[in-house]
Amino acid sequence: MKLVAWLILGSIVVLYGYFGDFYLKSPAESPTVLNAETEQRKVLKLVRAETQVKQALITEADVLYVSVEDDGSRRDEYANYLCGLIKDQTTSIKKVKVVAVKKARQSANGVPLGESSCQ
């Protein structure tokens, strides 16, 4: 039995190697995972193209965080708009949360300005 590598993906530990003549594929090589990664890249590219968006990321819990400049207004409608914008690109995003860009480093989740459920 020859062990090639251990990969840790999120909270899943996957053994990647040769076991006699049997070869285990990494989850990153499976079509489902590749489609999810491609889907997330498309969503991030689409959202980052918005003029108000400074940064965007998708968490493992399928929450899209978008940071914008804080002008003092609530951004629930903007979060709802972003849900509609990404609807054709993905079915995995459960929620969009808009946070203030300059205050994003003050806490792990940023200062909330608005949010919307996408499902």
Alpha-carbon gap, residue 34 to 28, rounded angstroms: 6
The total of structural domains in the chain comes to 1
Going 47 to 78 to 98 to 62, the CA torsion angle's sign is: negative
Range of the domain at 37: 32-117
CATH number of residue 82's parent domain: 3.30.300.300
Per-residue confidence (pLDDT) for residue 106, from 0 to 100: 59
Per-residue confidence (pLDDT) for residue 108, from 0 to 100: 60
pLDDT in tens, the chain (119 residues): 333 333 333 333 333 333 334 444 445 455 555 577 888 899 999 999 999 999 999 999 999 999 999 998 999 999 999 999 998 887 789 999 999 976 545 556 678 999 999 98
Q: Is-above-0.85 flag for pTM?
A: no
Per-residue confidence (pLDDT) for residue 107, from 0 to 100: 59
Element (H, E) at 55: strand 53-58
In a domain, 20, yes or no: no
In a domain, 24, yes or no: no
In a domain, 92, yes or no: yes
What is the token pair recorded at 98? 């808009």
